[in-house]
Structure formats: C-alpha cells, structure tokens
Chain A
Amino acid sequence: MADLRKLRRDPTEMFTRAVQPLLWFLVFGQVFTRTRVIPTGDLSYLEFMAPGILAQSVLFAAIFYGIAVIWERDLGIVHKMLVSPASRASLVVGKALAAGARGLVQGAMVAAIALLAGVPLRAGLLPVAGLTAAVLLGSALFATFSLVIACIVKTRERFMGIGQVLTMPMFFASNAIYPLDMMPSWLRAVARVNPLTYLVDALRTLMLAGAPPVMGLALDFAVLASVTSALVLLAARLYPGLAR
C-alpha cells in the first residue's frame, strides 16, 4: 500500500522504466523482424519478443526490490517491522504483493507499447486475468528472490554488483528473445531451471493467439507458485538477520 502511494506521488519512475522496453521494441525488435534469423514459427519476431520484453521489465523492476529493503534497513524501518508481532512470512508476502502491484503497472505499460507497435494481443477476460496473475506471481517471485539476496549481502554496494551479475544471465538464458529450440543443449538445460522461462512461456500463451504452448500453462504456474513459496519461506527465515 505504502509503495503504491509513493508511486502515485512520483510517477516519473514509471516512465523512466518504460524507456528500456520501448527501445527493445523499436530497435532490437525491428531489426530482428527484418533479418528473420530467429525462427519463430507463425509469429513475427516482434510478436514473439513482446511477452519476453514484458517478462524482462517485470524481472528488472522486481529484482532491485532488495535495494529498497536495504535502504529500509539503513533507515530503521526493518527494525520497526521486526519488533512488531506480525509474522515474518506475512512481512515478506507484503513486500512481494507490493512488488506485484508495481509489476502490474509496469506490465500494463509494456502491453500498451506492444499494442502500439502492432502486436495483436489476445483480448477477453480469461487471457487478461491469466496475464494479471502471471505478472503478479512473476513479480512476487523475483522480488522475494531479491529480498533473499538482500538479507545475505546486507549492503547496497554488494547488492548492486550481484544484481547485475544475476539479471543479465537470467534474461539471456531464457526463452525471452529466442526460442528454446534454438539453444545449444547446455543452455537449454539452464533455461529449463530458470523461472523466467516459465514466466515467459505463460505470458506468451496468454498474450498471443498463435503461440503454441511449449511447457503448458499448468506447469508454468505450478513452477512459478512453488518457487515463490519456497523463496518466501527462505526469506522469512533470513529477514530477521537484517536487524542484527
């Protein structure tokens, strides 16, 4: 709640965050659509890439959530939360939901950009509801992952370093901008254990009419939900360490 109020008061952050996906669509997407070097079946490359870019912006927005938590630690806000009788798990879930709400705003902007770029998104209640759920869950997953890292490294400098080191490989070792079939087998193995792959797969099925499911929505959501739960439990154990 508090986070959303801040976002409303300072929406510049939302627009600066929209710049990167815009560039991906305009530059990367246009070039690769022309060259046709990446086999994307019946979809144009731009269509194929749109869910990947949405997933990327969800990942990038959520993965630096830990920075905010380290900032809260430096301020004493973490201490104030931890001396309250609220359960540790509920504090972590609260963070994850706040990240999810931010992710939705972010996702809506990227979806709007995709529409403007001429990507035919699926309309209707079910795809949109599914898309909302996937973005919420994806944001919660990466935000909680970020929180776990923050609890371990505890300082902003170390976090920035690790954040950079993790995000890029997670993005490139996924099906976000090229299909799994194209990858060498070792990379495909990495992509198969990368939660981002499952988020992209879910988004692709839910956003595009002509996208054949690779993993299947049920598996996608099952993986996202179970990884998120495991991370929440881990973060709830590590969170008190931030106040020491």
Chain B
Amino acid sequence: MRSPRPPAISTVDLTRRFDTVLAVDRVNLSVDAGTIFGLLGPNGAGKSTTIKMLTTLLPPSSGSAQVAGADIRRQPRVVRGAIGYVPQLVSADGGLTGVENMALSAALYDIPLRARGARIRESLAFMGLAEAAHQLVRTYSGGMVRRLEIAQGLLHRPAVLFLDEPTIGLDPIARHAVWDRLQETRRRFDTTVLITTHDMEEADVLCDRLAIMHRGQVVVAGTPSELKERTGAGASLGDVFSAFAGATIANEGSFGDIARTRRTASRLG
C-alpha cells in the first residue's frame, strides 16, 4: 500500500558524529507524503539530531537526505522554504502578542504583505487562538503556546512539518487538543508531519507509522499495529518499545537532555 507519490522525506545512511560519539548511525527512513510519522526513542537516541539534520540546522557527517524533493546539503534554502519546524524548546516570544509572533514568522518566510493580515487571522483561528490573538504570549497556557508555535510553523503552508516532542509538559486535555489540530492540519492541507516523541500514547493515537531509534540507529519501523503484532499477542506499544529499545527510558539520556526537557516542561506547565 505505498502511495504512488514520491516520499516527503527519505534518507540514505544519514550519519552524524560528534567527536567520538556516533549520535546518528546510518539511518534510512522513508516517510510517505501526507502521513504523520513518529520517531520514537529514549532520550539521547538520536531523534533530535536527526531532526536537526533534516531541517538543515546541522550538516550530516555522511549520508544524504531529501526533504520535500530537495537535497538537504545541496539545496538547503529550498528545503527551508518547504518545511515548518516547531522546536522542543519554547520558541514563541512571551513579550509579544500572538499576532506579533505570527508577524515575525510572516516576515521570516517573506509572506506577501497584502496577504499577511488575513493569513495570520485565519491561522490563529484554525488553532483556536482567535480570542487570545492580541494578548501577550506570557499570559497563555502551555497548550496555547504550543498551538501558537504550530500556527507559526504552518503559516507559510509547508509541505513537511517537523515537531520535536510537541506535547512534552502538557496536561492531557491540552495534549489532545494539539493532536486534534495536527490531524486536522494533515487532513486539510495534506501536510506531512514528522514528530519525535517518547510518549507511547502519542505515538499510538497520532502516528500512521513509527520508527524506533536506539543508540543512533533505527531498530524497527512500521505502523503501530504492525509493531505490536511483531512483538507478540496483546502487546502494547510500551512493550514494543521495551523490546526494541530495551527498558532503558529511565537510565538513558544525558544531564543536558534532562535539564532541557525539564526546563521546557516547566515553562509550558
């Protein structure tokens, strides 16, 4: 059941080394256009490094990747024009209103001046932020901040949207609202969405396909139900995760990862 369209993301032996550490080790991924793809793994598995390479923030040490039909090394500006990115860290500016944050994105993506006002209003309404549009972002709840950041990432109608841990630190209601908006985005704009997560429920509910990363490598990929079947009768996605990545969530991840995650969580929470 492969779609006849070319994949939105494809990587060939994508590798990134930091000094002696192999953060991402010969990763081969193919993400079909118009799907929501989840990159799972414990902290430090290489998910964020993979996203940084695909979004052109970090050059790969070796290997190659195509995003929205463009090569991340040879055509980085074409890639940048075709993607949206919501970092794990809080990237909306608390000292500005929702509309002002959106205006900054509109300027960065060179959206024609005449179209800006209407496009910003429409995007904020789509994310359920119309009423809060003129409030300072520091008065927003964590879920509202995330939805605003997603609205910023989608303002220029990218073909591919990258989200790094989109619901980290959010309460269940806010998480469901974010998932709902992401699914609606895919349905309405045919956007390909790639998220990283270590939240099993998020992977199960939101994603069409998953790849589990462990120590820089993709250890298994498939739909959530395929992965559960492969693991055994009645297996949950948590069991899948333990089987392929080891029961290592608790003891993997550097101090830096933890500090960053908690900082994000406390700022959103």
Contact = CB atoms under 8 A, between A and B. Distances in A.
A75 B91 contact: yes
Contacts of A80: 85, 87, 91, 105, 108, 152
B57 A244 contact: yes
Nearest to B18: A244
A33 to B, nearest CB: 41
Nearest to B56: A83
B77 interface: yes
Nearest to A90: B108
A6 B85 CA distance: 25
Interface in A1-60: 1-2, 5-6, 9-10
Contact of A79 (B91, B95, B103): B91
A9 B135 CA distance: 13
B108 A79 contact: no
B96 A2 contact: yes
Contact of A76 (B89, B96, B104, B109): B89
B83 interface: yes
Interface string A232-244: 0000000010011
A77 interface: yes
B108 to A, nearest CB: 4
A81 B263 CA distance: 21
A2 B100 contact: yes
Nearest to A3: B95
Contacts, number: 68
A133 interface: no
B57 A2 contact: no
Given A9-B95, A243-B57, A84 B89 contact: no
Interface string B33-64: 00000000000000000001001111000000
B90 interface: yes
A85 interface: yes
Given A74-B89, A75-B89, A79-B89, A86 B57 contact: no
Interface residues on B, range: 20 to 34
A227 interface: no
Contact of B109 (A1, A77, A79, A85): A85
Contact of A2 (B81, B91, B93): B93
B57 A240 contact: yes
A159 to B, nearest CB: 18
A83 B107 CA distance: 13
Interface string B80-114: 11010101111101011000100111011110000
Contacts of B52: 243-244
A152 interface: no
Contacts of A81: 108
A82 B57 contact: yes
A53 B227 CA distance: 68
Contact of A83 (B55, B93, B103): B55
A84 B108 contact: yes
Contacts of A2: 93, 95-96, 100, 104
Contact of A84 (B87, B88, B93, B109): B109
15 contacts: A2-B95, A5-B95, A6-B95, A6-B96, A75-B91, A76-B88, A76-B90, A77-B91, A77-B93, A80-B85, A80-B108, A80-B152, A85-B81, A86-B108, A243-B52
Interface of A: 1-2, 5-6, 9-10, 74-77, 79-86, 240, 243-244
Interface of B: 52, 55-58, 77, 80-81, 83, 85, 87-91, 93, 95-96, 100, 103-105, 107-110, 152, 263
| A-B interface, 10 closest residue pairs, ranked by CB to CB distance from nearest | A76-B89, A76-B91, A76-B87, A84-B108, A83-B85, A85-B81, A85-B80, A243-B57, A80-B91, A6-B95
